[in-house]
Amino acid sequence: MSPLRGNALIGQSGGPTAVINQSLVGLVEECLAHDAIENVYGALNGIQGVLDERLVNLGLEEPRVLQRVAETPCAALGSVRRKPTLEDCELMLQVMKAHNVRYFFYIGGNDSAETANLLNQAAVASDYDLRLFHVPKTIDNDLRETDHCPGYGSAAKFVAQAVAGDDEDNRSLPGVKVDVIMGRNAGWLTAATALARGAPGEGPHLIYVPEVNFEWEAFLGDVSDALEQHGRCVVAASEGIHNAAGELIAQSVEKDEFGNAQLSGSGTLGDILSQRVKAAFGKDLRVRADTFGYLQRSFFGCVSEQDATEARAVGQFAVRAAVSGERPHGSAIIERCDEDGQYRPGYACVDLDKVARHTKDLPGEFLDGTHDVSEAFLDYVRPLVGPLPVAGRLACYPVPRSQ
């Protein structure tokens, strides 16, 4: 396809991450490098900003400002959770035509991919030549087609370090500690807490993910075994764990426009698990629970360098793919192109409808029984997270009694 001249528009959608602005800045930088793209605009609060025609000129931002923004967590343009109707899509196309937008890049997860797909279908139906690309992000790491998602490595680094700290706390004051981690349908992030184990006996001792049905009897038995073996127990549990009937252990009646249950921001699951442990083992056992909540996706100073690099690169790749004209629309993905046992990322594009609406579970080979992950998962996740702190241990030399 021949070069298409016009303006580019960028939007951010869904839950923010620690590196979503790296993708934003990567898009801006690459757009400015192509003559076919005349101006680079940003939509405030995603498609809501397009509908309200709240657009800003990102091409006027100073490079030093863009770099600082790239290193800042959460969505610099503001985010949104809105599923567009056909009327919404038609209105957005009117705005784009008014501003000669010929390139649209939407950074987000599977719901954002669905939004991009709906808008693309409307553009095709109206015969409007629009290069439309979805740029992946989500700490849940549950997008199909891509090996992993920008945002996941940094969130995984946070939960691994947070649980490592909790394990030290639990070592100091033994008992049972329950940590609830984000993950509505998939346990990728909770699984990453296994990286907290720097040595045998370190927590988390038990890991529960939505891919394995949760059973109370088995859970209490697992806790009992951990207490007997270690004298304490650290538990990492996905917020979306459920029983064999598919019923969430912590029910939620609140849903977003895409029909997703709202589980984060509540300590309900931690309370339920800790109360059952107290009831089973008695009031003398020290039992505590924490819900990591939104800190997992927005914590300053806890970014995986590999994650930041890939988030920027996948945005740059999306622009090159759009300008080349090899395909008019798609979803950018990250591939694993290891060489000689060394991790290497690669970038490609797939059809939007392969990513829209769908989620990706932890595969069976990444799980080890009902409450742990396998070495294969650790091999998968380690290069995405990078180096982690190692706890120091006193030798505890005994002091003999003086004569």
pLDDT digits (tens, 9 = 90+) for 251-262: 764 555 555 555
pLDDT digits (tens, 9 = 90+) for 90-138: 999 999 999 999 999 999 999 999 999 999 999 999 999 999 999 999 9
Residue 34 has pLDDT above 60, yes or no: yes
Token pair, residue 110, equals 């599977």
Residue 263 has pLDDT above 70, yes or no: no
Give the sign of the dihedral formed by CA 277, CA 279, CA 282, CA 284: positive
Catalytic residue among 88, 111, 140, 222: 140
Q: Under a CB-based contact definition with an 8 Å cutoff, are residues 325 and 1 in contact?
A: yes
140 is catalytic: yes
Q: Under a CB-based contact definition with an 8 Å cutoff, are residues 185 and 210 in contact?
A: yes
Residue 176 has pLDDT above 80, yes or no: yes
Query: Residue 358: which pLDDT band, with cuts at 50, 70 and 90?
Result: confident
- In the three-class reduction of DSSP (H, G, I as helix; E, B as strand; rest coil), residue 82 is classed as coil
Give the per-residue pLDDT at 252: 60
C-alpha distances in angstroms, 317 versus 26, 151, 323, 354? 9, 17, 10, 19
Q: Mind listing the domains of the chain with CATH numbers?
A: 6-150+303-354 (3.40.50.450), 154-301+362-385 (3.40.50.460)
pLDDT digits (tens, 9 = 90+) for 297-335: 989 989 999 999 999 999 999 999 999 999 999 999 999
Residue 285 has pLDDT above 60, yes or no: yes
CA angle 241, 244, 250 (to 5 degrees): 35
**Cα separation, 396 vs 261, whole angstroms:** 49
How much is the average pLDDT of 74-83?
95
CA 269 to chain centre: 20
**Cα separation, 342 vs 329, whole angstroms:** 32
Q: How many residues does the chain have?
A: 403
**Cα separation, 250 vs 227, whole angstroms:** 25
Give the sign of the dihedral formed by CA 74, CA 299, CA 193, CA 219: negative
| Locus of tokens 């030399």 | 397
Residue 232 has pLDDT above 90, yes or no: yes
Residue 191 has pLDDT above 60, yes or no: yes
Give the per-residue pLDDT at 127: 96
3-state secondary structure 272-302: HHHHHHHHHHCCCCCEEEEECCCHHHHCCCC
Comparing 1 with 397, the larger pLDDT belongs to 397
